[in-house]
Structure 1
Amino acid sequence: MQLSPLQSRLAASLAASLFLLALYLLLFSPNVALAAELPVDSYELGDAPHEIGIVLQGAASYEPEFDLFDRSIIGRAPPGVATLENNKPKALNLQPGTTACYMVEKSTIFGNDGSGNARKVEGKKDGSSTGGASSRFSDKVSKTLYLSANACLQPHFAGSNDTKSSPPQLILSISNSTEDGCQKPSNDPKDAGVTLFEEGAAMYSLNATGDIYVGITAPNVSSDFQGVYNFEVAASLTGYFHWYQKGDAAELLWMDSDSTSALLVTRNLTENEADIRRIMDQEPPYELFVSKKDSAATNGLKHSACGLQHTAQITANNLSNSQLNSPVRTGMTLRGPGSFPKQQFYFVSLNASSSYTGTLVKKSNVTAHEKREVGDFGLGSVVFEATEFQTVSATNCKVVTDLEFCNEIQYAVPGNDKKFNSTALAKAYDDYAKNMYANFETVMMQIPCEASRTSLYSLARNCDDCKAAYKKWLCTVSIPRCEDFASSNQFALTRNAGQAFPNGTQLPDDVRNPLVALPYSNASRNTFIDSEIQPGPYKEVLPCEDICYEVVQSCPAKIGFNCPRPHLMSFAYSYGQRDTNGSTVSCNYPGEARTPMSAARNLLPDLILLSGVSTAAAMMLG
């Protein structure tokens, strides 16, 4: 039967009404909504060590932004709780006795669909997780969440006594509920999720399966302290945004120092030749914060990047290079063994006979007020273990660096303030070594260096190896490493005892007379030093024996280069041997740092075959 036009319109209207009714029941039925609700999320704590501190009550009260809008629009965080996003730090002032609360939402951890690169939490039959935290479902997925914080400021001591005490450290608490994580952080040593800041830094990792709450508590302080705490906190899915790096091998190496200057360099930033140009074209990656060792300003903040920035006595970075009368210069350099990139810090205007600590910090690429670039990871700061260094009292040893010819020389050398500043002193030594090398090049012209490899003097070495080894030896013996005459280094040899100091004074007769009777103590290794530099009495760290042996191994016997035998008198005042414990510089090798376990030791030649090298006569550089 064919419908009339009116009947057709009525049938269409009825079908549309039934469709809308079915859609309403599907979307808004209470039973359907209850069936779709997710259970309360739980989390599994990671294996990070925890320290328990005393937690004082008193939660900070601050209103959320956009409180006029519905929670579905601004996020799931409850009132008074700020959200943390991936690799986006947040900073806040915090009064003593209060707590700030943050939330890392599940959508931040897993993405808006609640999924991502997650793994299942293995559950027991009774429903609990293997990590010890409660879990209602064995099919939960988890993701490692890295939480870190730095204290940037802390209350300062305003008492009357001369104490160097610091205020108590902040407390970091982690939970999957606001009640435990923010408002009432635990002080029970048996409870997990609580850690005390250590020297202004806290790091905590966990396997998260849902929303995570982060509390930062500022403990109460005595009336002797005034001011507020300031901190920066961040969450990351790739690693700690704030990182304190511990380790046996220092990242910052103390090369040498004199009475007012010090030279420090980082380890090689790469040893891949393909990366050298790229790294040298970039901005230096590190900042260095230096304070006197007895300074109390950095106490409680020594592991915090922003804390050091606010409290260190000297800051070395790109900005310090352009500041008038800056006490430090920094920049990238290829000088030193291997010619690999490293960052150098050269300090001037330091105090004599003083001890300092230098803390190297990898600069953060983002701050609490900047936005993270998409796909950019590893943006946070890294604080490395501090390096100690000292200045000396004597003024006739001077640090030189940036030599043109002897480009591996970076240490204190015999000097004379009355005749040379540091730049002129470096040039005088460099020119002397360069002139001496010209004589060697004349000798090498007699060697058929262009011959085929099978016709050369060695199948293992060539003329380029010989030239490099000879240059290293020549620079090291021409530019000796200097130590204060009063140095207690048992490996250092007294030199030039008979000459007056630059200020005109001489050693006491009872000290000078026995030394003058010894030829090697009455003069320097090179007459050039005594006649041109005139440093007065000093001590020399002798060149390492393997520098001489390298020349013997690398050069043709025809040039007549020989090394003295160990245990002979000529060897004792010409070369030194390495001390096995590495606690001091027992002999001088280019790039040898005063920091124990220096990177230079990793670049030394193989000494296995050197023990068999012996010669008939000693060679002295006149």
Structure 2
Amino acid sequence: MQDLEIDSALSFGIASGESKTFAYAHHRNSETEVKLFASVCTQPQPKFQPKSVDQFDPVRLKLSVNEYSDGTGTQYASEHFKNGVAMPVILAKNDFYITIEAPVDIDSDFEGNWNVRIVVTEHQPAKADRDALIWLDTDSNSVLFTTSLISAEQNRTPLPYSIFVYADDDLSIVSLRHSYCAMQSGGYIASDVSSGGGSVLTDTILGNGTRQLLLAGELEPDLTYRAYLTSPYTALPNANLGTVHTSMSFTTSPADESCEIIYDLPFCNGIAYKVPSNSSFTRTELARYYDEVALNYYTGFDKTLQQVQCDVANTSRYTWLRTCDDCRASYKNWLCLTTIPRCMSPTTVTSRSSLKLRQNYTQNRNFNVVWAESSYFELLPCIFTCHSIMQDCPALLDFHCPLPGRGLLNAYGLLNETQRKGDAFDSHDPICNFVGNLPVSAAKILGLDISLSISIACVVGAMLIM
């Protein structure tokens, strides 16, 4: 019989028909609430092809907590593991004993043993956040997610979240879907911490606030997977415990799609989606190239803006409603969206008018190095990104946006009446492309009812989407 120490993990194996008992010495003189974390890391595998997760019920372990080692006296807890975990809370006055029992007579249908991890602690378990995982994009061999907003305590190194990707029909891991150690031990296909993956913090995706971006790569095209979002239990750093928050299925793009996800760009830091690509670029090279092209355009614009008196009193500035910093931000936002086109599958777009089929070339004629190896659909940037420059920048820049009937729908997409101030880009129901949150001005311009005071459709001294 092994002893369990407070806050220390104990890992062990157990075979069919076995039971194992562990002793815990209560170290306080008073009645104390004690939490028990028991997780199945691996379990026997079926000799048949399972059709439902219920077919793994015969291999569920049983946990009991008793006053004495022979199972007599007060019984503090008795339960079967559910979804790979058992987590009873015990009001302990004295020492107690924990017994794990494995089912018998499973050898005809299953093979292998269980590996289990168990911890006793007085710390409060971390709650699962079922809304923490947000899908951003997929290409033919990778997927990009972001998370819900991260608190100040989570903004740390190592990063708070990880994803583990399995086949969507892997019912063995589904039956252990609440077990943190199962996610790490179950033979995952991809992860943000494995080859081809990556993870960074960002404050420019889906509006204000810090989130974590997570990329899992080296997947196969046109297959359906399931990603599980996990986080370590920081209160017990040496116990290797954690929380499985939620999961989400996704399907990779077909092999012939000439688009690849890029993210974490130094200049265009709001870009986190798939873009036209070809096999001569790695993901890192592709991101660097797009970003450098946008930065080069921006540098020329900024030199022009330096001719404007920006750091002056409101009464002397080009408008008391805006500053040159507002102008720079709007121009950067527009420039990154128009320089870095967004690939989008036509099956995911409600407004097909915002999709343009591009035949083996990039969006801008001056930007002709990254040639897609096949045709692709581009989700056009929203027209408000252009109007924002006209609203925020000095008139002497002579920047104009297209008018309805004069090229607007060839270059930009329109919002609809469901879009409101503060909305973020919805990858599941995209209307047109933008980054961050919708500003007030954008939410007001929902259709073609645009003031005719806007000048002729041209952009002087700036790049125009062709």
- The 5 A counterparts of 1:248-267 are 249-250=131-132, 252-267=133-148
* CA positional deviation for 1:200: 0.7
Q: Which residue of 2 aligns with 1:539?
A: 377
| Contact 1:293–1:356 (Cα < 8 Å) also in 2 | yes
* CA positional deviation for 1:303: 1.7
Hey, what's the Cα distance between the residues in 1 that align with 2:123 and 2:443?
Answer: 47
Q: Deviation digits for residues 71-126 of structure 1, max 9, x if unmatched? A: xxxxxxxxxxx54333222222222334333454443xxx2xx14xxxxxxxxxxx
- The 5 A counterparts of 1:97-116 are 97-107=17-27, 111=28, 114-115=29-30
- The 1:203–1:589 alpha-carbon spacing in structure 2 relative to 1, beyond 3 Å, is farther
Q: Deviation digits for residues 238-282 of structure 1, max 9, x if unmatched? A: 213xx57242x22x433322112333344454469xx96xx3xx3
Which letter does structure 1 place at the counterpart of 2:137?
Answer: D
Q: Which residue of 2 aligns with 1:197?
A: 81
Which letter does structure 1 place at the counterpart of 2:243?
Answer: V
2:196 pairs with 1:349: no
2:181 pairs with 1:329: no
- The 5 A counterparts of 1:334-413 are 334=202, 336-337=204-205, 343-363=212-232, 380-393=241-254, 394-413=256-275
Which letter does structure 2 place at the counterpart of 1:235?
Answer: V
- The 1:285–1:490 alpha-carbon spacing in structure 2 relative to 1, beyond 3 Å, is closer
* CA positional deviation for 1:619: 6.0
Q: Deviation digits for residues 526-575 of structure 1, max 9, x if unmatched? A: 33467862555322223245534544554344534455689998258512
| Contact 2:34–2:122 (Cα < 8 Å) also in 1 | yes
2:93 pairs with 1:232: no
- The 5 A counterparts of 1:580-595 are 582=426, 583-590=428-435
Q: Which residue of 2 aligns with 1:511?
A: none
Q: 1:450 aligns with which of 305, 308, 311?
A: 311
2:40 pairs with 1:151: yes
Larger CA Rg, structure 1 vs 2 = 1
- The 5 A counterparts of 1:455-494 are 455-459=316-320, 461-484=322-345, 487-492=347-352, 493-494=354-355
TM-score, normalising length from structure 1?
Answer: 0.61
Q: 2:297 aligns with which of 415, 428, 436?
A: 436
Hey, what's the Cα distance between the residues in 2 that align with 1:422 and 1:304?
Answer: 33
Hey, what's the Cα distance between the residues in 2 that align with 1:177 and 1:454?
Answer: 83
| Bigger mean CA offset, 218-227 vs 560-569 | 560-569
Q: Secondary structure at the match of 2:292?
A: helix
Q: Deviation digits for residues 348-406 of structure 1, max 9, x if unmatched? A: 43211112112232235699xx967xxxxxx7312221133321113212222343432
2:98 pairs with 1:214: yes
More strand by share: 2
2:311 pairs with 1:311: no
Q: Point out where structure 1 has 5 or more consecutive residues left out of the alignment.
A: 1-63, 65-81, 116-141, 187-191, 321-325, 373-378, 503-523, 591-602
Q: Point out where structure 2 has 5 or more consecutive residues left out of the alignment.
A: none
| Contact 1:185–1:215 (Cα < 8 Å) also in 2 | no
Hey, what's the Cα distance between the residues in 2 that align with 1:549 and 1:205?
Answer: 58
Hey, what's the Cα distance between the residues in 2 that align with 1:425 and 1:435?
Answer: 16
Which letter does structure 2 place at the counterpart of 1:490?
Answer: T
Q: Deviation digits for residues 11-57 of structure 1, max 9, x if unmatched? A: xxxxxxxxxxxxxxxxxxxxxxxxxxxxxxxxxxxxxxxxxxxxxxx
- The 5 A counterparts of 1:72-91 are 82-91=2-11
| Contact 1:87–1:235 (Cα < 8 Å) also in 2 | yes
Q: Secondary structure at the match of 1:245?
A: coil
* CA positional deviation for 1:144: 2.8
2:387 pairs with 1:527: no
* CA positional deviation for 1:463: 1.4
Hey, what's the Cα distance between the residues in 2 that align with 1:221 and 1:567?
Answer: 75
Hey, what's the Cα distance between the residues in 1 that align with 2:64 and 2:211?
Answer: 39
* CA positional deviation for 1:467: 0.7
- The 1:450–1:355 alpha-carbon spacing in structure 2 relative to 1, beyond 3 Å, is same
- The 5 A counterparts of 1:13-92 are 64=1, 82-92=2-12
| Contact 1:329–1:346 (Cα < 8 Å) also in 2 | yes
Hey, what's the Cα distance between the residues in 1 that align with 2:238 and 2:220?
Answer: 41
* CA positional deviation for 1:472: 1.1
| Contact 1:154–1:230 (Cα < 8 Å) also in 2 | yes
Which letter does structure 2 place at the counterpart of 1:539?
Answer: F
| Bigger mean CA offset, 420-429 vs 400-409 | 420-429
Q: Secondary structure at the match of 1:533?
A: coil
Aligned-pair Cα RMSD in Å: 3.9
| Contact 2:339–2:364 (Cα < 8 Å) also in 1 | yes
Hey, what's the Cα distance between the residues in 2 that align with 1:566 and 1:528?
Answer: 25
- The 1:226–1:148 alpha-carbon spacing in structure 2 relative to 1, beyond 3 Å, is same
* CA positional deviation for 1:606: 4.5
| Contact 2:18–2:102 (Cα < 8 Å) also in 1 | yes
* CA positional deviation for 1:206: 4.4
- The 1:529–1:104 alpha-carbon spacing in structure 2 relative to 1, beyond 3 Å, is same
How many residue pairs were aligned? Answer: 441
Which letter does structure 2 place at the counterpart of 1:489?
Answer: V
| Contact 2:39–2:118 (Cα < 8 Å) also in 1 | yes
Which letter does structure 2 place at the counterpart of 1:555?
Answer: C
Q: Secondary structure at the match of 1:313?
A: coil
- The 1:226–1:366 alpha-carbon spacing in structure 2 relative to 1, beyond 3 Å, is farther
| Contact 2:190–2:218 (Cα < 8 Å) also in 1 | no
Q: Which residue of 1 aligns with 2:59?
A: 168
* CA positional deviation for 1:235: 1.8
Q: Secondary structure at the match of 2:100?
A: strand
Hey, what's the Cα distance between the residues in 2 that align with 1:460 and 1:143?
Answer: 61
Q: Deviation digits for residues 190-216 of structure 1, max 9, x if unmatched? A: xx9433322212222344444454333
Hey, what's the Cα distance between the residues in 2 that align with 1:332 and 1:421?
Answer: 18
Q: 1:94 aligns with which of 7, 14, 23?
A: 14
Hey, what's the Cα distance between the residues in 2 that align with 1:205 and 1:567?
Answer: 68
2:128 pairs with 1:245: yes
Which letter does structure 2 place at the counterpart of 1:480?
Answer: P
* CA positional deviation for 1:481: 0.8
Equivalent pairs: percent with the same residue? 27
2:431 pairs with 1:604: no
Which letter does structure 2 place at the counterpart of 1:143?
Answer: T
